[in-house]
Amino acid sequence: MMHKANTEYPEYVNLLKGRLTEKRFLHSLAVAKEAERLAETHGVDADKAYLAGLLHDVTKNTSEEEHLKIFDTFGIILTNVEFNAKKLWHAISGAAFIKYVLLIDDEEIIDAVRYHTTAKAGMSLFSKILYLADYTSLDRDYDDVDVIRGILDKSLDEAFLYALRYSITELADSGRALHPDTVEAYNEVVLKGVVLSGS
């Protein structure tokens, strides 16, 4: 049974409405629904996946000053790559916000939010589902989104590989640094023998 926006987790929905732009709020709802769908398909707790999707961008529209305050308050030390890639900050601060401010103590949710931008080696199925839900939610419209949606309907592992490869290529082509976690996630998938059908 699919959730209806504003009837489940109303306290978090209201929190997000106050913290996010309308576009980012609607994205959060879309990711929550896609995470729930993927969780149901793959035998993972769908209610928890919905919540992770709902909250994954909770600090996305947070100011640089508030991000730095969160990092300082909770003793988070950024690597050089992270410090110079502000697009990654919301995943790190968001996980801390969920744990220490919202007092959600579910480590699967915290870990999934923490790595929903970079991925990492050894990701749980739950974390992969959030990563891919964020990549393929209905509001996404980048060049290859329909390709990856088609792959995801057949194989979660192949979709994960495709998403990692796409991210690495985009970063490298634009002259940005690669996060070691992303590279390690990619290497792990390739060394497990996952290949894209037809490639």
112 close to 102: Cβ distance less than 8 angstroms: no
Is the pLDDT at 6 greater than 70, yes or no? no
- The residue-averaged pLDDT of 8-20 equals 93
Q: Tell me: the pLDDT tens digits for 186-197?
A: 999 999 998 887
166 has a pLDDT exceeding 70: yes
- Whole-structure pTM value: 0.94
Q: Which residues contact 145 (CB under 8 A, 6 or more apart)?
A: 135, 136
User: Do the Cβ atoms of 15 and 58 come closer than 8 Å?
Assistant: yes
Mean pLDDT of the chain: 94
Phi-psi region at 75: left, alpha or beta (left = phi > 0; alpha = psi -120 to 50): left
Determine the pLDDT at residue 53: 97
Which residues lie closer than 8 Å to 105 by C-beta, 6 or more apart? 99
Q: 93-135 pLDDT, tens per residue?
A: 999 999 999 999 999 999 999 999 999 999 999 999 999 999 9
